[in-house]
Structure 1
């Protein structure tokens, strides 16, 4: 396999994802704002670009894994001009968690310049990315999705197609992140109640995660919350706040009330105000302990 791919964004998720592509035999041209983060990939044969736009070539494929809407917009429409650089017929695979409105806007921008955008946000933490166990939601033009499918398969274990609407995969991603955050809050409240009642929350959540809540979210986050160990952060609190704010924006545009999302937003803001920005986003569970007058268990 000799296909050349551009990859922009080598953070906690992007680095292992790009590593998976190298392992699958793809040739990578990579860019990250902090250049040193590319070193592990360079050592394995990737090439480093001096600017994000330099990873692109006409008719090529570029994968981006960036932090927020502004970063993706800047890549596509700013000085890096990705939409123009990959035209004609190049494909931008946007794997970032951004708003569906941003994806629709950028997909239209790509189309006007002769290129294509496929939305492909992922579910999973860095450890799943390292193990090629991500679950990927995709939406966009069918022929483009088919062309990039082998690339996406090289980074994940399952792909779920949500049709031609460019923003559909982002709606699903935001819905999933909202449901995860709601589970974190529920576990935090339950742990606070159990601690104040003299019950071992670790034992209780272990039992519940094996029985009526036998799902990865409870099995993965239950021990973290029960033991109060929120470092190292797989997904930091400010990123959680960003996603919940995107959920509320999307819900507002759809006239769909989400009162639980409003509560979660306040939890994230409170946690950040308390100096917890460097903790994993599951640390919103500490809000229930704060309300109950409990000291942090970590």
Structure 2
């Protein structure tokens, strides 16, 4: 499998697509704004002006898009993936989107005699650039075998969550919930300590070298302690989309998740304060403001 199309060249998609080029794949690219496509053209990518042309005659198309609406728009219609991808070719959705859309796409691809997998990723743009993403995958086992070479070029590990195609998206939603719960816990802890005269960086240095000596606490701890919210690794406005996915999933499954309600309030308040372009960990500022620190 050597000919790949990549749709969506945002902060995650661009480094992922570049890694595929460096791994030797022939790459077709499409992005709504053409600047990123032109930049990849310098590395050997073939740039297309529409999705339909980009996916014609490829073995595999990868989509890495912001939300359900974006994935829906490139998948359906006369110029979409479904109408233009060859029979038996594969579509891998690596976006953080709803399980419902993933199930719908899987059925539509089957109706078109095409193949489909879901494979969202964990990791920020710097992890994408250094091939340090964690990939969670679900769908038919035979199709997973076909895409191993491509997926392995994008991350440091792939975890298989069975043949129910939307399972990986639920894993992604649950994982993001745990990340944001961590961010909220750090934020409230820092507000408590700072209000009592304890220096915030000293606390982060302590917990990330002892109790929580793991990369995700270290990385987010540094960002939050130093308030490095610009430029955003993952924008707060996209984080609200993820929190909405958490709420929808919990509601559909009749699983109460009260922390999700807290997170929703944090994100909505942050956006109301014109912080949509900040990193999603900037919800920390709300905890500080509520404590009278800002």
What is the TM-score with the length of structure 1 in the denominator?
Answer: 0.96
CA contact (8 A) 2:52 2:80 kept: yes
- Cα distance in 2 for residues equivalent to 1:7 and 1:60: 11
Partner of 1:206: 205
Mapping of residues 1-298 of structure 1, within 5 Å? 3-58=2-57, 60-295=59-294
Q: Which runs of 4+ in 1 moved over 4 A?
A: none
CA contact (8 A) 1:29 1:49 kept: yes
Measured after TM superposition, the shift of residue 40 of structure 1 is 2.2
**Any unmatched runs of 5+ in structure 1?**
none
- Cα distance in 2 for residues equivalent to 1:260 and 1:146: 38
- Cα distance in 1 for residues equivalent to 2:278 and 2:179: 16
Measured after TM superposition, the shift of residue 177 of structure 1 is 0.5
Alignment length (residue pairs):
294
Measured after TM superposition, the shift of residue 248 of structure 1 is 0.7
Measured after TM superposition, the shift of residue 281 of structure 1 is 0.2
Measured after TM superposition, the shift of residue 58 of structure 1 is 4.6
- Secondary structure class of the residue paired with 1:139: strand
**Any unmatched runs of 5+ in structure 2?**
none
- Cα distance in 2 for residues equivalent to 1:59 and 1:288: 49
- Cα distance in 1 for residues equivalent to 2:79 and 2:105: 14
**Judging changes above 3 Å, is the alpha-carbon distance between structure 1 residues 79 and 293 closer, same or farther for their aligned structure 2 residues?**
farther
CA contact (8 A) 2:5 2:58 kept: no
CA contact (8 A) 1:122 1:173 kept: yes
What is the TM-score with the length of structure 2 in the denominator?
Answer: 0.98
Measured after TM superposition, the shift of residue 203 of structure 1 is 1.0
CA contact (8 A) 1:87 1:115 kept: yes
- Secondary structure class of the residue paired with 1:39: helix
